[in-house]
Structure formats: C-alpha cells, structure tokens
Structure 1
Amino acid sequence: MTLRAKVAGVGHYLPERVVENAEFEASLDTSDEWIRSRSGIERRHFAAEGQTTSDLATRAAKAALADAGLEPSDIDAIVLATSTADLTFPSAATMVQAALGMTKGFAFDVQAVCAGFVYALTNANALIVSGQAKRVLVIGAETFSRIMDWEDRATCVLFGDGAGALVLEASEGDGSNADRGILSTDLNSDGRFRDILYVDGGIGSGTTGYLRMQGKEVFRHAVEKLAATAETAMGKIGLQASELDWVVPHQANIRIIAGTAEKLGLPMDKVVVTVQDHGNTSAASIPLALSVGRARGQIKPGDLIVTEAIGGGLARGAVVLRW
C-alpha cells in the first residue's frame, strides 16, 4: 500500500471586473493586436477596491470544498500560494482559515511567485504522505493588479487577479503510475537571476513597489527550464510525455506555453490554455486552469497530467498527478 494525495475537489473564483485589452489603449501606447500577438492575452480580471487576496482565496476554497462535498471542519491544513498577501503578517492562509470558520488545524503561505502553486502542491503532498494531515486545502490566489506600474506597457497588460483551489486527501494506492493522486514532483530555484523578474519594493525599501521584468530574458529561460522540470518529474516515475493526457502549464504567455509543449513533443490539443481570458495570475494560474479545464470537460477522472511553472527567483517546478 502506498499513500497518495488525491484530488477530491476543485474550484476557482474570478473578480467581477473584466478588463479587455482595448481598455489600455486610452492610457498606453498599445493596442489589442499588440497585446494579443505578444502574449495571447485578450482580457483579464481585476479585483474590486477593498477586495483582498484572502477574499478571492476564500471564495475559491468554498467552491473546492463544495465540489468535494466537504465542510471546512473536514480540512486539516491550508497551504496558500501567493506573492500578494493582504498583510506582511499574519499569513493570508490564516485569514482564509478564519473566514471559513475553521477552528482546528493549521495554515500557512508559500511564496514562490508564479511557481507558488507547484511548491504548495508539493508541500501539501508531503504533509499527506507523512501522515501529518489527511485533507489539505491547496490554494493559489493573487491580486497582481496592486503591484503594477500602469505606465509600463510591457508588463501591466500581462497580469490579472484570481484564485483557484484544490482539496487533496489521503488515498491508498498500489504504488504504480495507475494510482490516482500526486505521483511525482520536482522543485528548483536559482537566485542568481533575481534581477530579471522582481518587485522593487518591500520592507527594506519602505514601499510596496512595482513588478519589474526583463521579458526577453524571462522568455529565454522559461521554455528550456519548464520543459526540463517537467521531464525530470516524469523521469522520476519512468513516464514519457506521450503518455500524458494533459499539460496544465502556468498561464504566462501563449508563446511560452506553445514553446514548452513543442519541446516536450506534444501537440497543443493536449494543453489546457486559459491565458486568453485570465492573463498571468501568477500562483493562481494553474489551479484556475485545472478548475476551468475540468468545467470545460477536458480533464476527466483518471487523466494523467503534468503541471509546470516558473517565476521570480527563477523558482520553478513540476507535478505529475492522476486526476
């Protein structure tokens, strides 16, 4: 018998405000065609004034719990991936815990920027297989609209707000790749590349700061490193890319998504793509794509999936799971 962390439920939440590309034309030297051609993005959602990351996360969490047929009291832990927590502390995860009415268990944030959800899944998987938790609510939530420089046309048009969540629960398997749940993970980072994607603020500077990105450099690293971490995760269990049903990538840029699929030798009809409607929602993008992919009827029970992401600090990683 092998203990696995199986997906029991999934859900997401997107703020009501939808911002089409054309809305940026009034304030920036840009156009719908320019944004689409470089990123594949057509629209994104922005949080309302006063709407926080934990608010979005709580709504996604409730949707995932409802999908799993569970109550907050059934959850042992919350792991929330975000780079835009409401406050320096306490964690946004504890705020979600309170909003759900959970009075037991534990909650904490994971900060690995766009790779955050992969890191959160890996941590949640470890909690379950080690016996420290039976059910873990894993959330990715961001309000990146709060850290945009609205005069920087190269970055501010790329990002959006949203949240997605999974419920993972302990399940017995036979130790083979036919088991449902998380089958393998791979995590990496390389802080030498800090300056190509970062926020120029924080406690040390006394300001919140804005996101800064060297787009060409990020792209140069992204395709190669995303394919490599996916191949490493698959290699740990003797899996070939041709055996996958779906790739559910971090939704940053359609060119990166397509380039990674090509490097893995997979057609785009095996890739779940949501970047056109959400933009880059950082740590929220993978759970959003999983939830939307399931709602579309793409992802079905028993499907074999690899999900991969890369973010600032060049934190990156991949998870192989059977739905």
Structure 2
Amino acid sequence: MSIYSKITGVGAYVPPLTVKNSDLEKLLDTTNDWIVQRTGIERRHWVAADVSTSDLAFHAAQEAIANSGINKSELDMIIFATLSPDHDFPGTGCFLQAKLDVPGIPAIDIRQQCTGFIYALSIADNFIRSGQYKNILVVGAEIHSKGLNKTPSGRDVSVLFGDGAGAVVVSRTDVKDAKTDSFIIRNDLHADGSYAKELWIAAPGNAFTGTERLTKEMIDEGLHYPKMNGKAVFAHAVKRMAETLSHTLSESGFTFNDVDLFLFHQANLRINDKVAEIAGIPQDKIFNTIQEYGNTTAATLPLGMRDAIKAGKLKPGMVVAMAAFGSGFTWASSVFRF
C-alpha cells in the first residue's frame, strides 16, 4: 500500500456578465462568424469593474472545499496558478487565503499560464506523496478582460479570452487497487523558453533598458497588451499536446482507448480537434467548454471538470487524461482516475 493523492472536490466560478460575439462586432470590427470559424468561441464571461482574480478564486474554492467533504481548517496548503494576479506582489494566493480565513498555511503562486493548472496539480501531488501534507487547495483563476486591447488592432487576441476560476482539493489516499481506486496516476511537465516571445506581454518589465518598468512610451506602443504569433502557437500546441498525452498514457500503462474522458486546455477548438484527429480520439470522449467561456487560461481545466461533472460526463472511477499548452512555451499532461 502506497501514499498517493486524489482529487476529492471540484469547484468553479465565472462572473455573471456574458459577452457574446455579437457584442464585440462593433468594438473590434469583427463578426460572429469570423470568431466561431477560427476559434469555436461563441461567448465568454467578463468581470465587473470591482472584481478581482482572488474574488473569482474564492467562489471556486468554496465550492471545491464543500464538495471535498473536508473543513477549510483541514487545508495544509494553497497553490494558485494565474497570469493575472490581483497585484504584482504579494501573490494572489495570499489574498485568497485571507478571504478563505485559513491563516498560517503556505500559499504558493505559480505562473505557467495556460499550463498552470497541471503544473499546480503536479506540485500538490508530489507534496502529498512525500507525506508532508494531506489536503491541498489547487486553484486556477484569471481576469483577462481588464488587460485586453479592445480595439480592432487587438482583435486576434481579444476575441479569445474570458474570465473565470476553477479549483480542486487534492487529498491523500492509500491505493490498494490501482485498477479501481481513485488517484492521480502520472503528470508530465515541459517547457521551452526559446519561444517565450511568441506569446507574451512585454510590459511592465525589468528587461527594458531604463529605470522604469512601465513608461508612457510603452503604453503608447501597446506593450502592456498580449501579443501572439498565432500560427506558431497553433502548430506547437497540436504537436506538443499530442506528444505529452501519448507519453503520459504509455508511461501509465494505458492506451488512448483506455481513457474515458479527455479534458484539453480550451484555447482554440481547432487545436483540440486536430489533437483528437492525430491521436484518433472520438469526439464523444472530449469535453469542451470553449464555446461558453473562451480561453480562461489556468482556469480552463478545472472549469471543464466542474461542468463535465454537472453534465454527467465525468463520474467516479473514470480514467481521465488532461493536456494543456501555453505561453513559455509550456506544455503538460496528467492522467488520473477520478
């Protein structure tokens, strides 16, 4: 009998304001058909002016904790994945910790963008397998809407992103039968920083020549908005997600046919369809949410888990495979029995 970890509770939250593609047509000089054909996105949710990333995370975390069956006082750690923090410092995990009223436990922020949730899940899994902790809250949350270029020049990126949060509680479990028991089986993490500027936000930053992290000239140049080489991201995402899925399943003793449900990062429906085509995955085994939420970066996977549970697509005992790709470039996959 060995110590492993398992996902015991799942939660998610999106702000109530729904922004349809039609709402962006005049703002970004685009059309609903243009967005749907290129991305699969039909709508997304954006926050009100007074809402922060930790606010979204708080709602998701409360649901995850409630569904886990533990009391919040039993949490041993918070791991928070986000690229859109409340402030530069301290980490947003600390702000979430205060709102949850669980002082004293460690709170770690990580910044692996769209791959952040799997990175955070892997960190939690390893802390628990080491025997150091029993219950860890893993959160992915983002507010993109406050940082987008909402003019026609920013159309290619701004149509993609939504706001939202997802959370899971990861808890210690003793696996007696690996063929039936619920546990996180394997995680696979990768990065290649030589592609860092293919999808990034340059400013504010300390890599500029000068004495200020942000200047009027940077703002005038739009360096505080996200920039993306769409063709490069698409090609690498398809290749790397298919590779890491294949590797993780093989190392876990599974084939693609053994998986009951696939959850992919929700960046572009065409990426997910291409990965499915390469791997021979039938569409009825894939659960997508991009149509409703757009790309919520670190939140897409736990948000998808919550919705899959509600839809009856994710049930206890199922073998689940997740994969993600994002800025960095970073990519990762995870296989677990739910």
Same fold, judged at TM 0.5 (above)? yes
Q: Secondary structure at the match of 2:328?
A: helix
Match for residue 180 of structure 1?
A: 182
Aligned pairs for 1:1-323 (under 5 A) are 1-151=1-151, 152-174=154-176, 176-204=178-206, 206-207=213-214, 209-323=224-338
AA partner of residue 193 (structure 1)? Y
Q: Secondary structure at the match of 1:306?
A: strand
TM-score, scaled relative to structure 2: 0.93
| Identity percentage of aligned residues | 39
Higher alpha-carbon Rg: 2
RMSD of Structure 2 on Structure 1 (CA):
1.2
Deviation at 1:85, TM superposition (A): 0.7
Taking the aligned partners of 1:201 and 1:6, their CA distance within structure 2 comes to 38
Q: Which moved more, 1:207-216 or 1:46-55?
A: 207-216
Q: Secondary structure at the match of 1:155?
A: helix
Q: Secondary structure at the match of 1:6?
A: strand
Q: 1:70-110 CA distances to partner (integer Å, 9 max, x unpaired)?
A: 22101111111100111111111111111111023211111
Q: Secondary structure at the match of 1:12?
A: strand
Deviation at 1:175, TM superposition (A): 6.5
Q: Secondary structure at the match of 1:83?
A: coil
Taking the aligned partners of 1:113 and 1:304, their CA distance within structure 2 comes to 25
What is the total number of aligned residue pairs between the two structures?
Answer: 323
TM-score, scaled relative to structure 1: 0.97
Check whether the contact 1:114–1:310 (CA below 8 A) recurs between aligned residues: yes
Taking the aligned partners of 1:147 and 1:32, their CA distance within structure 2 comes to 22
Taking the aligned partners of 2:270 and 2:179, their CA distance within structure 1 comes to 31
Deviation at 1:47, TM superposition (A): 1.2
Taking the aligned partners of 1:174 and 1:68, their CA distance within structure 2 comes to 21
Check whether the contact 1:200–1:209 (CA below 8 A) recurs between aligned residues: yes
Q: Secondary structure at the match of 2:335?
A: strand
Runs of 4+ in structure 1 over 6 Å off: none
Q: Secondary structure at the match of 2:158?
A: coil
Runs (5+) with no aligned partner, structure 1: none
Q: 1:2-53 CA distances to partner (integer Å, 9 max, x unpaired)?
A: 2121111111000111100001111222100110011000000011102111
Taking the aligned partners of 1:288 and 1:122, their CA distance within structure 2 comes to 18
Deviation at 1:69, TM superposition (A): 2.5
Deviation at 1:216, TM superposition (A): 1.1
Check whether the contact 1:80–1:139 (CA below 8 A) recurs between aligned residues: yes
Q: Secondary structure at the match of 2:28?
A: coil
Q: Secondary structure at the match of 1:154?
A: helix
